[in-house]
Homo-oligomer: A and B are copies of this chain.
Amino acid sequence: MKIAEAAAWLQTCEQAIILIHQSPDGDCIGSGYALAALLRLMGKHAVVRCSDPIPARYAFLLDDSDTVDESIAAVISVDVADRKLLGDLDAVYGDHVQLAIDHHMIHRTFAAACCLYPQAAATCEIVYAIAKELPVVMTEHIAACLYTGIATDTGCFQFDNVTPNTLRAAADLMEQFPDVRYAQINRAMFAVKSMGRLHLEQKLTNQMRSYFHGKCIVICITLAFLQTYEIDQAELDGLANFPLQVEGAEVGITLKEREPNVFKISMRSSDRVDVAAICKQFGGGGHIKAAGCLIEGTAEEVIQKLTDAVERSLAAQ
């Protein structure tokens, strides 16, 4: 479904349940609440549903004032690449999603219709394009939703998914809604850390390991580490990017011990190393620059396996 078709379809939809993915991020929250608000501006009813609680830093985007009739409401998913990512909501709604709006290259079709633009940096970029086709006057709240999604999915316009279109969407929003506090949104999303997180990062810096002349950096979060320092799970969000911040690092590996001797691995590549290929060797997958897998063994065994694979990959460059 193209942008214009999605816009036409939405105008026929009187009530909507909008689903966003588990472990919700700025893009799915922003596109979900923007879409709900757009539908309401057209006199329709819409609610946003998520299997997980929405993190507090996104509270300024939420508007849960509406209700719908579950028996007749259309089901729409936004930013959901795979029905499994609906979490608990998959069992309830997964079989009858009518429209999926998404930007993930790896989208696995589950909805009756799909408005998929993999070249969009964020689903919010797609929702903004749809909004421009709708007979509504956008609001500051919608602009804040869309900006937040675009900014968070691009690391504040930092990553290589940014296109001229991404920057122009943000420019348009800023021009039309100059009173939205964009810089404050950016500060809350990118600059601010809790004291707990700062202290966690400090401990991780201490135990960081460097391999192959600093080209590969490893951090390991064991159950013992979490216990010793009484670390809240909420502080662990987005840590997978932590090792790559070291100057000269080409591969960052983050181990999180899920249960004794079972490690969830997140790998990141700054440039040329294909970490999806490495994770595939261990039954995982992902993108070239961001991938993951699950490996059993002691921390030392797991690190040995992974760094051996990284060494082969670096040698093949």
Contact = CB atoms under 8 A, between A and B. Distances in A.
Interface in A267-317: 270-271
A172 B165 CA distance: 10
Count of this chain's copies in the oligomeric assembly: 2
Give the most central of A167, A170, A246: most B CB within 10 Å.
A167
B192 A246 contact: yes
- Interface of A (DSSP majority class): helix
B171 A158 contact: no
Nearest to A160: B183
A191 interface: yes
A163 interface: yes
Interface string A34-52: 0000000000000000000
A187 interface: yes
Give the most central of A163, A170, A210: most B CB within 10 Å.
A170
A93 interface: no
A158 B270 contact: no
A195 B163 contact: no
Query: For chain A, which range describes its interface: under 10, 10 to 19, 20 to 34, or 35 or more residues?
Result: 35 or more
Interface string A146-160: 000000000111111
Interface of A: 155-160, 162-168, 170-172, 174-175, 182-184, 186-187, 190-195, 198-199, 201-202, 205-206, 208, 210, 214, 241, 244-247, 249, 270-271
Given A167-B167, A198-B208, A198-B245, 10 more contacts: A156-B157, A156-B158, A158-B183, A159-B186, A163-B174, A164-B172, A166-B171, A171-B171, A192-B249, A202-B206
